[in-house]
Structure 1
């Protein structure tokens, strides 16, 4: 019996037909991880760019408005209309708009408040339409589900209790006079 095991082990040791499998097993997970993380990062970048574009176009409409004060829902709909790659944009987007004075500069604050699936009926945050020639800050926070939530890149991003990740964009503008 021992002689058969030695003979089989000797034949297995001389055979090199499976040597590329070992190399594949070592290298393939690294390339797969790089590919998956590059796809995830590409989608994060695409969502962020589309949110920035939607916010810029909505701010342009508000800034060059026809004299009517824009509503929260109108701005939100305009942003989501231009942010075409985000699923359920109107449910996952939260806006904050506040006027500020150049002589007494006040920003929106440090903590960004976004939507949360676990909380029902969140009220609208500070949303004050500005007057003519007034400096305004508009902050948009968009939550989304990562493509690969269990992979390293998605796990390193700050997520809420339901696993959604936030993208934040800000814009400052001056209301044009009529």
Structure 2
């Protein structure tokens, strides 16, 4: 009786049926996560490029239209009109603009987190600092957009995520000189 059970067990263990299935089960999660990570990285790069381009266009308009410096809300709307791939842009975009002295340079302050990326989901004023510059002053403008990850479980996304809701920050900076009015 024991001999027949052992013989049956040996015959089952010698079979090679399903060997490819084991390899498939081991490798598919790896390939799937690489695919999802590349799709997420591609979308993040696209959103970053659109945000950078829209900030450049807005800064160009500020520089060339002497006599009128747009308010924070006007500037946010102008940037969001160009950055169409950033979801809910007007609510997820925060701006900082302040004057820098090129002859007495001090470090630019660290990028603060975006308004919706703060801990405990507290509501935060999206305007950290927004100073209109005078003529011939060097101005520093930083735009920060908080964007939700599409695949939060992808390989690289845990490095970029800034809060528990799966959002990451896209930070773009630009420097320009106010034209004389």
TM-score with structure 2 length normalisation? 0.87
Aligned to 1:51: 51
Aligned to 2:24: 24
* Larger mean Cα displacement after TM superposition, 87-96 or 26-35: 26-35
| Within-5 A mapping of 1:101-120 | 101-116=101-116, 118-120=121-123
For structure 2, the residue ranges without an aligned partner over 5 or more in a row are none
Query: Where has structure 1 moved over 4 Å in runs of 4 or more?
Result: none
| Within-5 A mapping of 1:54-133 | 54-116=54-116, 118-120=121-123, 122=125, 124-133=127-136
CA distance in structure 2 between the aligned counterparts of 1:130 and 1:80, rounded to whole angstroms: 22
1:144: how far off?
0.9
Over the aligned positions, Cα root-mean-square deviation in angstroms equals: 2.0
Native 8 Å contact 1:100 1:107 kept in 2? no
3-state DSSP class of the match of 2:115?
coil
CA shift digits 1:10-36 (9 cap, x unpaired)? 432343231111111222222112111
CA distance in structure 1 between the aligned counterparts of 2:13 and 2:56, rounded to whole angstroms: 66
CA shift digits 1:129-173 (9 cap, x unpaired)? 112222110001111111112333221224124432111110001
Native 8 Å contact 1:95 1:141 kept in 2? yes
For structure 1, the residue ranges without an aligned partner over 5 or more in a row are none
